[in-house]
Amino acid sequence: MEIITSMLAGILFATGIYNLLQKQMLRIIIGTALLSHGAHLFILTMGKLKRGKPPILVEGVEKYVDPLPQALILTSIVISFGVTSFLLVLAYRASLLNETDNMEELRGSDYE
Amino acid sequence: MLIAVFLPLIFACLIPFLSKWKQKVHTGWFVLPIPFSIFLFLILKVGKQFSPISQSYNWIPSLDINFDLYLDGLGLLFGLLISGIGTLVVLYSIYYLHKTEQLGHFYVYLLMFMAAMLGVVFSDNVYALYSFWELTSFSSFLLIGYWNHRSGSRYGALKSMLITVFGGLSLLAGLILLTIVTDTTSIQSMIDQKDTIMNSPYFGWILGFVFLGAFTKSAQFPFHIWLPDAMEAPTPVSAYLHSATMVKAGIFLVARFLPILSLSEWFFVVVSGIGIITLCWGSFMAVRQTDLKGILAFSTISQLGMIMSMLGFGTDAAIFAAVFHILNHATFKGSLFMVAGIVDHETGTRDIRKLGGLMTFMPITATLALFGTFSMAGVPLPFLNGFYSKEMFFKYSLELGEYSGIAQGLATAIPFLAVLGSIFTFVYSMYLVFGTFRGEYKKEELPQKPHEAPIGMLISPIILVIGIIVIGLFPHLVNGSFLAHAAEAISGHESHKHISFWHGFVTPLFMSLAVVGLGTLLVLTRKRWNSIYNVIPGKLSFNRVYDWLVDRTERFSSKITKTYMTGSLKLYVQLILIAIIFGTISMIVITNGINLDATDLAKIRLPELLVVGMMVLASIATIFTNNRIAAILILGVVGYGLSILFVLYRAPDLALTQLIIETVTVALFLLVFMHLPKLEKRNESKGSIFMNAAISISFGGMMTLVGISSYTSKWFDPISDYFLETSKSLGGGSNVVNVILVDMRGLDTLFEIAVLGIAALGIYGMIKLRRKKEAK
């Protein structure tokens, strides 16, 4: 199963990158969201899948899933949520101010 | 001795205060005692029973970098030249520079240069030597660019800086190699370890680097091009730096390291070969110049070439002759520069085509020039010092030893080349003196009516010319007590040579006579062969090479930068990704990283497969949809799919968070989407689509590979057992993930909260704060 989820993470990465390389700003944000999904899945997969019960201690259960990757992913989800929402508002402001969302047209004003 | 070296530097700090009174007293008067006292200090050391003095002062002892000073005959000769001519130049500059100039700057730079030059010749530590060496380049840069409002000055200063610093850096490389090979930073102990150096594999490199340093500084072919452009400096500077001191630093370097450098059989070929080429080329080019200082600049180049080639001969006698000529050249070239400065000062031009017939107006200057030029040309008059050194040059060029191969060819050619170069030296010397002071007087072309210079300006050149004659008449005065020590310091063994006053009708004398004869012939027929200059330097001029190089470097680097710094974010992302992919894949290949081990995998189940399949479809669909809402919703599908996977893989907290966050994100997307422009299809070329696809697919593939191979090569057990065991006993909770988040690794959570807070503040700021212009 880990091989399949690795491949899924790879596909998420690939589509994320492809979106990142587009010109529209919205697509770039979608790309970053896909990339963070890929990364989370990747961390989960690397921590081994399905090796016991959920990591909530119950009497009599011997084997639990590795809790550390879960904690890491939880942190990461929150952070990527913060960044994504910031990006979204940034894109909103940028496209409003510059009247374009085409990344190829957005260049520094001091560019010669 | 340390005081002698640093006195000018210390005094330079006081100059700004002293120059406030410059309207009353010319700042130069304050400066004058400095070089003079150093000169007195050094002249007291001259004598028959001279023995080297060495002193050491700590600087960075842990790195073996100290101010090790070493005063031997060679250092003494240069020290006397620097301080003596320094005194005369300061005196001359008092009358040359007007009080309205920025005198403070001038004397600060000049004193800085003086200290640096003294440091170079007295240093025994290679790193101290290098520090002073660069300080000479730097202060010379400031002095050349003294009149920085002129573009010529700036060009000349930059050119000399680029070339000498290039040489200086390669010298540093050579010195570092020497330190590594010998494990000492003292020059004298390096010379004691000759054999170690010769047998080391770096010997060739050391030679090359040190030669580069010496040749660029001493304006040897083809690095001579900076010297003529340095003539934009005020004339006292040209007289001091570019005739007597700085340009001899390279010669000093070759002389100082001669015991090491001459271990190689290439020493003769490189030093003498380059020297003789410089001699011929410099004197040939000097004839072409129309500016007085231009002639003198090329003449300096050619004379330096002569000294260099004498050093290259390597015999004791030739080294003595080189030392003798260093002294002679400093006297007559210094006086000639000062004469040129006087002519410029009193007539307003240095263009020799406008000058002529000044003899009657400036009799004293003309006399001085006559002595200077005749000595420079080596005219066979036994009261001029230049004649002796030229005779010695001819004599030793005939006495070269037996060589093989190229060296033998060079040894045979040198006497002829020497005569050739001397003929041109004679031609430009005569042209210089007769073109300026004889001929017809062109009244209309002169900006000012010429008249004799003030006596103060004449003192320095008069002293130098007296030096020419005294050395010419009584060469033994400077010989035994002074020059012999210098020659001994270079070659390492004692050699007491006599400068023959009259040596009979021997070959060198006939060579001199031939020079005079042919030279006179060429001077008289100059107009007929002058057009040769349109052909020979022509396109081969090294200035063109330099300009082309500088121009090309600028254009080429800006072209390269423009190819990748296009301002397009997409291109940068592509470059970054390609670098990551390339690096990772090559690393995997090099370390043979792929090892598939399928023993430790979880079972594949249908529900999981279905979710995975849905996510794959959804993620691919984000690429193809052109509808904003559809794209957002499909992204939501991926997110919810992921949270289902979290459920299936026993991560309840994750699933919960992912669900909520995905919902909020989708809501956010939907909130702003009204304001975002439509996802219109941008026309992309097929190449660019292919490029993007290739990059993203290979990146995804790479990550898959990395995942699989790192998963299947687990080296040690996870540390999670500790968390599971102690969650309840230490953390007091049974939800292990939560205990980790707030208890065991609570710091992460703290800053994650900070991240969210900052994001919220940022969003608030972006929405609320407007520039005033927009607010209207």
Identify the pLDDT of residue B776.
46
What is the average per-residue pLDDT within A3-23?
Answer: 89
The interface predicted TM-score of the complex, written ipTM, equals 0.92
Across the interface, do A45 and B711 touch by the CB < 8 Å criterion? yes
| Residue of B34, B42, B45 lying closest to B7 (CA atoms) | B34
Q: B763: nearest CA in chain A?
A: A86
Nearest CA in chain A to B742: A71
CA distances from B691 to A43, B83, B491, B702 (A): 28, 69, 68, 16
Judge: A96–B675 Cβ closer than 8 Å, yes or no. Answer: yes
pLDDT at B692: 86
What Å distances lie between residue B96 and B99, B346, B490, B751, CA to CA?
10, 10, 37, 70
Spatial separation of the C-alpha atoms in residues B487 and B17, rounded to whole Å: 43
Distance from CA of B715 to the nearest CA of A (A): 13
Q: How close B554 comes to chain A (CA, Å)?
A: 16
Chain A CB contacts of B628 below 8 Å = 26
- Any residues with CB less than 8 A from the CB of A104 and at least 6 apart, and which? A23, B568, B570
A39 interface with B at CB cutoff 8 Å: no
Lowest-confidence segment of A91-95, A98-102, B39-43, B87-91 by average pLDDT: A98-102
Report pLDDT digits (tens) over B524-543: 887 777 777 666 666 667 78
How much is the pLDDT for B408? 79
Residue that wins the pLDDT comparison between B511 and B506: B511
> Considering only CB atoms, which chain A residues are within 8 Å of B642?
37, 40-41
Give yes or no for residue B261 having a pLDDT over 60: yes
Q: How confident is the model at residue A112 (pLDDT cuts 50, 70, 90)?
A: very low
Provide the CATH topology of domain A1-52+63-98.
Helix Hairpins (1.10.287)
B650/A52 touch (CB, cutoff 8 Å), yes or no:
yes
Query: Could you identify the residue written with the tokens 């190089």?
Result: B549
3-state secondary structure of B404: coil
Residue A19 is nearest to which of B616, B623, B673, comparing CB atoms? B623
Interface contacts A/B by beta carbons within 8 Å: 265
Q: Is the peptide bond before B259 cis (omega within 30 degrees of 0)?
A: no
Mean pLDDT of all residues in chain B?
83
Report the range of poorest mean pLDDT among B317-321, B591-595, B697-701, B763-767. B591-595
A35 CA to chain B: closest CA distance, Å?
Answer: 10
Q: Is B223 exposed, middle or buried (0-12, 13-18, 19+ CB in 10 A)?
A: buried
Which residue has tokens 């529209």? A24
Query: Contact at 8 Å (CB) between B160 and B242?
Result: no
pLDDT of residue B504: 59
With beta carbons less than 8 A apart as the criterion, state whether B90 and B106 touch: no
One-letter identity of residue B732: G
Indicate the pLDDT class of residue B681, thresholds 50, 70 and 90: low
Inter-chain contact A86–B652, Cβ cutoff 8 Å? no
Domain ranges of chain B: 265-551, 566-595+686-715, 603-677, 717-775
pLDDT given at position A10: 92
> pLDDT value at position B171?
92
Share of chain B above pLDDT 90, in %: 11
Tokens, residue B484:
């012999």
> How close does chain B come to A101, measured CA to CA in Å?
7
Cβ <8 Å between B748 and A75: yes
pLDDT in tens, B27-59: 788 888 888 888 888 888 877 777 788 888 888
pLDDT of the residue at B133:
92
User: Which backbone phi and psi does B650 adopt, to 5 degrees?
Assistant: 65, 50
Min mean pLDDT across A96-110, B403-417, B563-577 is at A96-110
Does pLDDT of B496 surpass 70? no
**Angle at Cα B544 formed by Cα B538 and Cα B549, nearest 5°?**
150
CA B101/CA B95 separation, integer angstroms = 12
Express each pLDDT in B384-434 by its tens digit: 778 888 888 888 888 776 776 777 777 788 888 888 888 888 888 888 888
- State whether B612 and A65 contact (CB < 8 Å): no
CB contact under 8 A, A85 and B665: yes
- Put simply, the answer to whether A11 touches B735 (Cβ < 8 Å) is no
Residue-wise pLDDT for B214-258, tens only, equals 999 888 888 888 888 888 888 888 888 877 788 888 999 988 888
Tell me the mean pLDDT in the region B678-696.
77
Cβ contact B570–A21 (<8 Å): yes
pLDDT of residue B389: 81
pTM: 0.81
Closest A-chain CA to B602? A1
Chain A residues touching B622 at Cβ < 8 A:
15, 19, 30, 34
Q: Which residue among A23, A37, A78 sits closest to B639, beta carbon to beta carbon?
A: A37
3-state secondary structure B132-192: HHHHHHHHHHHHHCCCCCCHHHHHHHHHHHHHHHHHHHHHHHHHHHHHHHHCCCEHHHHHH
- From CA B240, how far away is CA B114, in angstroms rounded? 10
Question: C-alpha distances in angstroms, B593 versus B586, B596, B704?
Answer: 10, 10, 13
B718 with A14: Cβ contact below 8 A: no
Contacts of B603 in chain A (CB under 8 A): 1, 50
- Whether A87 and chain B come into contact, CB under 8 Å, resolves to no
Task: Give the pLDDT score at B501.
Answer: 52
Q: Residue B689 pLDDT more than 50?
A: yes
Q: Which residues in chain A have Cβ-Cβ distances shorter than 8 Å to B601? A: 1-3
Q: How far is residue B323 from each of residues B130, B180, B247, B252, B418, measured CA to CA in Å?
A: 23, 31, 15, 10, 18
**Chain B nearest CA to A36, separation (Å):** 10
Give the residue with greater pLDDT, B135 vs A99. B135
Q: Which two tokens stand for residue B96?
A: 């040359």
Q: Is the pLDDT of residue B755 over 90?
A: yes
pLDDT at position A82, please?
92
Whether chain B has a CB inside 8 Å of the CB on A46: the answer is: yes
Determine the pLDDT at residue B762. 92
> Which residue on chain B is closest to A51 by alpha carbon?
B602
Contact yes or no for A6/B710 (Cβ under 8 A): no
pLDDT tier at B752 (50, 70, 90 boundaries)?
very high
Instruction: Collect all residues of chain B within an 8 Å Cβ-Cβ radius of residue A23.
Output: 570, 682, 684
pLDDT tens, residue by residue, B320-375: 888 888 888 888 888 888 888 888 888 877 888 877 777 777 888 888 888 888 88
pLDDT value at B10 more than 80? yes
pLDDT score for B340: 87
